Structure 1
Amino acid sequence: QASLSFLADHPRYKTEKPFYALLRAPPGLDVELITDEAAKAFRRNNNLDFSYKDVPIQNIRGREDQFHVEQCGFEIMHHSSAMIDHLVSSSEAIEAYKRETEDMLKQKFDAEYAFCFEARLRKNQPFSKRLYDLSDPLCVEGPAIGVHTDFTIDSGPRSIDHYLPSEIKQTYLTVDVNDLIAADRIIPTRVGEIYYVRHNPNQKW
C-alpha cells in the first residue's frame, strides 16, 4: 500500500481547466541564488490542488513477463545502460543516453525510427530550490507531483508532429489530416467512428 497524490475533486475544475505552466527564468538569473521575492515572479504557475489517498500497490516482481506493452501500456525491460554512471557529468552524456534509448527501442520493437526527445534527471528527496533552469540538460528535479499521464489523446499527436523530422514525415506520413473524413459506424449496441480517406496524389501506398 502507498499514499499517492491525486488531483483533488475541486469545484473550480468544473469551470477552470487545470494547468501547470513551466516558466523559464530570464537569462542571467542564477536559479541557485534567487530570492523569495524574485521566485514569486517567475515561479511555476499552476492551479493544481492534490489530495493523498492510500491505495494498494501490486507487486509484480517475479512475474514481469506477464506484462506486455500491447495489452498493458507498459512492459518491464532488462537493460544495463553504459551511461548510467555518467548522466550528471555533461550534456553530451545526456545526449548519448538518449541515443542509447533510441537504439534499445528500435531493437525491441523492430522499428526503423525512434526518437528520444527528452530526458529528465530526478532524485527522490526533498528539494529546497525555488526555481529550476529547464534549459539546463543537467537540471536535477525532485519527484514528479501528482498521478498523471504524460500525454493526452490531443497532445500526443501534437508532440509527434512537433518532434518528428520533416524527412520522416515526408517518407511515412503522406496522408494529409484534411483528407481524413470522420464517419459514424453504427451497430445495434453503440455508435463508433472511423476515418474514410479522400484520394490525394501526394499519398504513398
Structure 2
Amino acid sequence: MNANTRLEADRAIHRDGVVRASLNFIGPADGKPETYNYTPPPGVPVRNFGDDPHEVAIRDLRADPAAASLDREGFAVLRHRSAERDFADEAAIVGAYYAETEALLRQATGAHRVFIFDHTIRRRIPGQEDRAGQRQPVARVHVDQTLSSGPERVRRHLGAEAAALLDGRVQVINVWRPIRGPVLDSPLAVCDGSSLAPGDLVATDLVYPQHRGEVYSVRHNPGQRWHYLSRMMPDEVLLLKCYDSRETGVSRFAPHTAFSDPTTPPDAPPRQSIELRALVFGAT
C-alpha cells in the first residue's frame, strides 16, 4: 500500500473522528471468573473464561481533550510535563515522579490527601504475554478495582487510618502516561462510565500465591461509549477512575483496554507507558 492509499484508508477509518476496532470483553465463565497470576496447579487453567471480541466505535478526543471529566465520564486528559524522561531509575520514579503525580492529582481533584501505592511500566515486546518482570499492554477490557477491592486497598495500605478515611470520599485513580510518543501502537481505549449498564461489570478474582485480589471484567453492551486520545505524547496523561465511594451523581468506574488501531503503521515503535495507582481522599 502506497502512502496516498494508506492516507485514504486512514481517513475512511477515522471518519468523523472515530476509529472502529475489536475489543476483548469477557465471555462465559466456569463459575466466578478467575485468573492466575502465577503458574496454576496441574490441570487448572490460567483463566476459567474466554474472550468475547466485539468491534466497537472508538471516538478520538484529540479535537477536544478537555471534553471528558472524572466525575461525569470517569476519566480525564491533562497536560503535564514531567521532569522524568526515561523512567529507568526506580528510585527517581518512587521519589520525584510520585511527588509530581501526587501534586497533579491534588490540583486536578481538590483532594486533601493522595497516597500512591504502586506503579507499572509497560514496554511492549511483540508476541510477549503480560507477566511479572515483563509487563505488556493488557488487551482485555477491565477495571483495576471493584466495590470490594477499592476499600480494601485503603485498609491494606493505610492500616489504622483506614476507618476514618473510609468515612469520607475515596477514589482510586490510575495516572497513565506515555514514556515515548506519539503513541501509535497499542493505544488505550476508555469507556465512558456513564454509559455502563447494570450487569456490565463482572467481579473477577486475581489469584496470587498468598492471596486473592478482585478486578472487574466487562461484558459487551452496544450502549457503551468508547474513547481514546490519538497520538498521545509524554506531556499528556490520562486519569482513569477505578473506584469511587460516592454512590450517586458520578461515574464510579472507567473500564479500559489496550487495542489494536487498524491505522497503526507497520513500523510503529512498540508502546512504552507508565501507570501510577493512587488513593485519593476528600476530592470534591
The whole-number CA distance in structure 2 between the counterparts of 1:163 and 1:44 is: 31
TM-score (norm 1): 0.61
Would the aligned equivalents of 1:102 and 1:114 in 2 still touch at CA under 8 Å? yes
The CA deviation at 1:5 is 1.0
Please give the alpha-carbon distance, in whole angstroms, between the structure 2 residues aligned to 1:163 and 1:113. 14
The answer to whether the 8 A contact 2:102-2:116 is kept is: yes
Q: Tell me the CA shift for residue 169 of structure 1.
A: 3.4
Query: 1:141 maps to what in 2?
Result: 135
Shift of residue 75 of structure 1? 0.9
* Structure 2 unaligned residues grouped into runs of 5+: 1-19, 169-246, 248-284
Considering Cα pairs closer than 8 Å and 6+ residues apart, tell me whether 1 or 2 has the greater RCO. 2
Identical-residue share of aligned pairs (%):
26
Change (3 A) 1:16 1:60: same
Structure 1 runs (4+) deviating above 4 angstroms are: 39-44, 170-175
Decide whether aligned partners of structure 1 residues 79 and 165 sit closer, same or farther in structure 2, where only a CA change above 3 A counts: farther
The SS at the match of 2:116 is coil
TM-score normalised by structure 2 residue count = 0.45
Which amino acid in structure 2 is aligned with residue 2 of structure 1?
Answer: A
- Answer yes or no: is 1:2 the counterpart of 2:17: no
- Would the alpha carbon gap of residues 41 and 64 (structure 1) be closer, same or farther in structure 2, given more than 3 Å must change? same
Q: Which residue of 2 aligns with 1:111?
A: 111
Shift, 1:58, TM fit: 0.9
Q: Looking at CA atoms only, which structure, 1 or 2, has the larger radius of gyration?
A: 1
Contact 2:40 2:46 (8 Å CA) reproduced = no
Q: What is the Cα deviation at residue 51 of structure 1? A: 2.8
* Counterpart for residue 21 of structure 1: 36
Q: Number of matched residues?
A: 148
Query: 1:80: which partner in 2?
Result: 81
Q: 1:186 matched to which residue of 2?
A: none
Q: Are residues 170 and 50 of structure 1, via their aligned partners in 2, closer, same or farther at CA, if it must alter by over 3 Å?
A: closer
Shift of 1:41: 6.8
Deviation per residue, 1:5-61 (Å, 9 max, x gap): 1112x2xx2x511111223xxxxxxxxxxxxxxx78799932231132211111121
Larger fraction in helix: 1
Contact 2:122–2:134 (CA under 8 A) maintained in structure 1: yes
Query: Would you tell me which structure has more strand in proportion to its own residues?
Result: 2
Amino acid of the structure 2 residue aligned with 1:5: N
Counterpart Cα distance in 1 of 2:21 and 2:58: 7
Partner of 2:185: none
**Structure 1 residue 171: Cα displacement:** 5.8
Please list the CA deviations of residues 128-179 of structure 1 after superposition, one character each: whole Å capped at 9, or x if unmatched: 46x844xxxxx3411113101111111111112212253x43764569xxxx
Amino acid at match of 1:57: I
Match of 1:161 in 2: 155
Residue 77 of structure 2 aligns to a residue in which SS? coil
